Structure 1
Amino acid sequence: MHNKEQVSALQLSFMIMLFEIGSTPLFLLGAKAKQDSWLAMCTGAAAGLVLLMLLMWIQHRSRHYDLIGMLVLHFGKIAGSAVGGTYSLYFAYQSMRNVRDLGELTALTLLPNSPMSVTMLIFVGTALYAIWKGTEVVFRLPEVLLPVVLSFYAVLVLLLGIMGSLDFNHLAPVFENGFKPIADAALPDIVSFPFGQMIVFLMLWSLWDKPGVPVKNSVAAYLLISIFLIFMNALNVAVLGPAIAGTSQLPFLKTVRTLSNLKFIERLDILVTIQLYIGLLVKMMLFYFCSVKAIAELTGKPAKWWVFPVGAAIYGASFLERDYTQHIAIGLGPSLKIDSVFQVAIPLLLAVSILLRSWFARPSS
């Protein structure tokens, strides 16, 4: 079950960071906790870290297998293949959500008069080309793009600091209503998005050029990006205040628009949009890649057979939701409930199965 296409530990950590950024800084996650939303992010990140440890342990115990191989190995051929098939659909569904996000964002910010169908087709086509070219190309992208994204964010944060837009009094009082609203906002919602989405790396760690899991790189990338996302969450509240940040469709865009007093720079929101395009494109592409990889493994056919059909299905499905309001309502409602099955319940079953298998395999004294 060794894979010819291999990636380095550094490529994996860059991919984790860019994948986790995705569209996350765009929204105020944990808005229900108001000024404590950043604490809800901390709670979600901590729970996500526990989940990451579980996923890495599962990978460590099934070194040469990816998620599909593990499911077939531990659940048996029929049940394992059936669950693997639903994972392939789940990854394609997540990819579709990102395609729709990209389409809606373009219509909202940069190209209000261009048909969404065209912009979404361009995005799917770009991802399709990268996946068609293979694993190496997919994993080379974050090496180029992550420094760009982080430097853009750094510039915007610096400008917000210089302009005196930041008012950290907006983050007080801390723990105003105790820990319960924070926990309610974090679990399961913030764990599902973005931290629980690390489930895709069970499809990718087996591509590492050494057996096992790059634990240090994976944990370091996860911790760094969690701190960044918590900071961006606090930043939105510090600039806009909890009321406006919580009700705004795209709070980070609004935050950056507060810099419009800068006479020497105009249309800074284009910077934000570019960052989000990069983040969303990588996220969409990785889900798409994992969907193709899963279905190729289940059918025993080469991945290239499936790149076009899966891409077409993702593109077609991205039109199913009526409008942006419905898209967000489904994304932050029923979708998060499905997530916990794929991100938590099935990995837990896998872990139990691994433990039972090793228990029964022990020679009796």
Structure 2
Amino acid sequence: MQVIGGQALFFLVLIFVIGNTGLYALGVQLAKQDAWIALLLAMFSSYILLWIYVKLQNYYPEDNLAQIIIKITGKWLGYSLILLYSAYFFYISLLNLSMYTEFIQVYLIQGVAKSVISFLLIFNFTYLIFSGVEVIARVSELITPFIIFAIVIVYILVFSSGAVDFKRLQPVLSNGIQPIIEVTIPELIIFPFGDLVLFLMFWKYVNDKKSIFKISFWGMTIAGLIITFAVIIILAVLGVNLAIRAYVPNMLVSQMIQIKWLANIDVIIVLIILLLGFYKMVPFFYGSVAIVATGFKFDNKVFISILYGLLLLIFSYAPFTGFPFHRWINSFGPRIERFMEYMHVLFQMIIPTILLVVTWLKKSELFKK
């Protein structure tokens, strides 16, 4: 039987929440130099979501999201929700795959075909899925300390280079509280903190069910503080305008390190971003496969994994993924962007809350009478 220990869960949550945030300067476009305040506000607000997810898991400790949905809603509505969640998890893994393929092409191995990079990425995280959730968690337990150590070293070098100027974060609240609220709700709550809804596919494997909230809380909190500090450094090094325009702000930050005896520091940044992004893709891809395999009781999970892997490879060429898609969406203005956010709100906030409320009603004495 697959089992996830407390330490493995902590590192898995930590690396998952940080995930692909290294590609962005989160919240800067709206909140400007106050983006770090918006991130902290989003993290504190997300504790409510985490409580909802864990509370739902506590009512069904030996079930994953697919099994929970069927027990609460019944088969017919449950099957529809399972397919929708599978498509949602699949889309996020697809979006990440496309973005990281482009990132690798630009910063690591120029000239290599997109199909080759996509295939290698899909092959690697499909192999991890075959190995099971315990292996996924244990690998995160091994690599996360090295990633954190590398991040610390990079930031020490950034400070040593003299590129950091905290005056670029001033004036604080120059545009008032409204831009902070606008970017926090729901944008920064959705990403990266609301993504933890996926862990309803993992928590059933944790050996100590009583510690799930505590461990996940601290994993999410430390990840949130690391992301917030990263945005502070981006702003302190690049300033607001350059941070908004930069393709990958953290790469530009690494290029600001001017130390004579040290060269090619950006390679370390590339590897950190890749490892973090890999652990955003793997859990979401696992979730998209496992929720269908469990919900519909497919015995041949290998076939489903390979099928989803092929679909991922095919759809990675679709025009609705990657950085160009995000730029195209943003060109239509805030209305279209809000529409995309509502999709995440539905799966991360509305459906889990409804499932929890229905569970309460089913277990209440009034409902039983």
* 1:250 aligned residue: 248
Q: Distance in 2 between matches of 1:213 and 1:77?
A: 31
Q: Which amino acid aligns with 1:17?
A: L
Aligned to 1:7: 4
Q: How far 1:362 moved relative to its partner?
A: 6.5
Separation in structure 2 between the aligned mates of residue 281 and residue 350 of structure 1, nearest angstrom: 30
Match of 1:292 in 2: 289
| Distance in structure 2 (CA, Å) of the matches to 1:170 and 1:315 | 42
CA contact (8 A) 1:206 1:212 kept: no
Deviation at 1:323, TM superposition (A): 7.6
Deviation at 1:269, TM superposition (A): 1.2
- Alpha-carbon distance, 1:325 to partner: 4.1
CA contact (8 A) 2:133 2:202 kept: no
Which consecutive residues of structure 2, in runs of 5 or more, have no partner in the other structure?
331-336
| Equivalence for 1:124 | 122
CA distance in 2, matches of 1:151, 1:210: 28
Between the aligned partners of 1:323 and 1:296, the Cα distance in structure 2 is: 25
Tell me the SS of whatever aligns to 1:165: coil
Q: 2:139 aligns with which of 116, 138, 141?
A: 141
Tell me the distance in 1 between the aligned counterparts of 2:292 and 2:60: 20
Residue identity opposite 1:341 in structure 2: L
After superposition, the CA RMSD in angstroms is: 1.7
Distance 1:337 1:49, change over 3 A: same
Q: What's the TM-score once normalised by structure 2's chain length?
A: 0.93
The one-letter code sitting in structure 1 at the alignment partner of 2:112 is: S
User: Which position in structure 2 is the counterpart of 1:20?
Assistant: 17
1:111 aligns with 2:109: yes
Aligned residue for 2:364, secondary structure, equals helix
1:344 — aligned with what?
A: 349
1:264 aligns with 2:261: yes
Asked if structure 2 preserves the Cα contact closer than 8 Å seen for 1:71 and 1:350, the reply is: yes
Asked whether the equivalents of residues 56 and 213 of structure 1 are also in contact (C-alpha less than 8 Å), the reply is: no
- Counterpart-to-counterpart distance in 1, 2:148 and 2:328: 30
Distance apart, 1:331 and its partner CA: 7.8
Deviations, residues 82-118 of structure 1 (Å, cap 9, x unaligned)? 1011111111111111111110101111112111111
Q: Show the counterpart of 2:315.
A: 317
Report the alpha carbon displacement of residue 311 of structure 1 after superposing the two structures with TM. 1.0
Q: Which runs of 5+ in 1 are unaligned?
A: none
Hey, what's the Cα distance between the residues in 2 that align with 1:139 and 1:313?
25
Structure 2 CA distance for aligned equivalents of residues 213 and 65 of structure 1: 16
Residues 257 and 295 from structure 1, CA distance in 2 versus in 1: closer, same or farther, beyond 3 angstroms? same
Q: Deviations over 1:130-162 (max 9, x none)?
A: 111222221121011101211111111000111
Q: Is the 8 A contact 2:10 2:219 kept in 1?
A: yes
Query: Aligned AA for 2:358?
Result: S
Q: Which residue of structure 2 aligns with residue 102 of structure 1?
A: 100
Structure-2 residue corresponding to 1:355:
360
Which amino acid in the other structure matches residue 301 of structure 1? F
Which aligned pairs between 1:24-63 and structure 2 lie closer than 5 A? 24-31=21-28, 32-63=30-61
2:220 pairs with 1:215: no
Determine the C-alpha separation between the residues in 2 that align with 1:55 and 1:186: 20
What CA distance in whole angstroms lies between the structure 1 residues aligned with 2:324 and 2:104? 17
CA contact (8 A) 2:94 2:321 kept: no
Please, what TM-score do these two structures have when normalized by structure 1?
A: 0.94
Q: Give the Cα–Cα distance (whole angstroms) in 2 for the partners of residues 101 and 161 of structure 1.
A: 29
Change (3 A) 1:312 1:16: same
Aligned length: 360
Name the residue aligned to 1:328: 326
